[in-house]
Amino acid sequence: MQQPTKIAPSILSADFAKLGEEVRAVDVAGADYIHVDVMDGHFVPNLTIGPAVVKALRAHSAKPFDVHLMISPIDVFVPQFAEAGADIITVHPEAGAHLHRTIQLIKSLGKKAGVALNPATPLGAIDYVLPDLDLVLVMSVNPGFGGQSFIASQLEKIRLLRQRIDKLGKKIDLEVDGGINADNAAEVIKAGADVLVAGTATFQGGPNAYADNIRRVRGGH
Ligand code: DX5
Ligand code: ZN
């Protein structure tokens, strides 16, 4: 069943020169998860942060760290992010040869497991692993950068995924990531999402604006 909307600010849009402060600021401003975008310059054309930074940030918030891995190979790094303090570890099916094995690895480390679907990746990619998952992330932009525009074709994928999750009757987060703002959030929630990633929309206007920014994406005014 669709849960009340959670907001997961992506720290990709934070001020990297003061990342600890930024994480504390979105925590206080009402973030439900802290979304950490990990990119390797190989699976996606951008480089961001690694496990050492996740570990350093851990002390700055008790909220779940929602770690989105856009890296390949994948299995060799999963234990490092688990050790660093990730709570949810999300991987792309294209990042490794054996998705089922990667999911079991995440769970064996006591972490919640997520799978991220690129805009062109069909829902069928998770047909045989959905019951094992704690989260499915629908990418509404191509992974690699913040500040891109929402790809509307993903709304149908969100609707179909909502039906599958409800049919299964398990508590699985349906997270949507990319180009979400106060103007399109309601439509994404209506389609069935219960976790919204928001990078640009959260971190605009400086720390004093974060609470209002989060409230607006969640559906307030
Ligand atoms: C893209 C990342 C997203 C992105 C979200 O590869 O996974 O989390 O940074 O940023 P906005 O909200 O700016 O699209
Ligand atoms: Zn992300």
Q: What is the mean pLDDT of the chain?
A: 98
The number of folded domains in the chain is 1
Active site residue 177: yes
Domain of residue 177, residue span: 6-219
Mutation to probe ligand 1, out of 10, 67, 135 (largest number of atoms < 8 A from CB):
10
How far away, in angstroms, is 49 Cα from ligand 1 center?
14
pLDDT digits (tens, 9 = 90+) for 165-193: 999 999 999 999 999 999 999 999 999 99
Residue 47 lies in a domain: yes
Q: 85 in a domain, yes or no? A: yes
Tell me which of 67, 200, 202, 203 to substitute to probe ligand 1's pocket, judged by most ligand atoms within 8 Å of the beta carbon. Answer: 200
CA of 115 to the centre of ligand 1 (A): 16
What does the pLDDT look like over 94-128, one tens digit per residue?
Answer: 999 999 999 999 999 999 999 999 999 999 999 99
- Whether 120 is in a domain gets the answer yes
pLDDT grade for 221, boundaries at 50, 70 and 90: low
Q: What is the CATH number of the domain that holds 206?
A: 3.20.20.70
For atom 3 of ligand 1, the residue with the nearest CA is 178
Whether a cis peptide bond, with omega within 30° of 0, leads into 73 is: yes
| 39: in domain | yes
| Non-local CB neighbours of 142 within 8 Å, separated by 6+ positions | 118, 119, 148, 178
Amino acid of residue 141: V
pTM of the model: 0.98
Q: For residue 199, report the distance from its CA to the centre of ligand 2, in Å.
A: 9
Secondary structure, 3-state, 48-97 = CCCHHHHHHHHHHCCCCEEEEEECCCCCCCHHHHHHHCCCEEEECHHHCC
Q: Using the 8-state DSSP alphabet, how is residue 211 labeled?
A: H
Ligand 1: residues with CB < 6 A are 10, 12-13, 35, 37, 68, 141, 143-144, 146-148, 177-180, 197-201
Residue 1 lies in a domain: no
Retrieve residue 14's tokens: 């934070």
Q: CA dist 66 to 87, 142, 166, 206, 209, Å?
A: 6, 18, 22, 22, 22
Of the listed 40, 134, 177, 194, which one is catalytic? 177
CA pair distance 123, 127, nearest whole angstrom: 7
Residue 99 domain-assigned (yes or no):
yes
Cβ(115)–Cβ(103) under 8 Å? yes
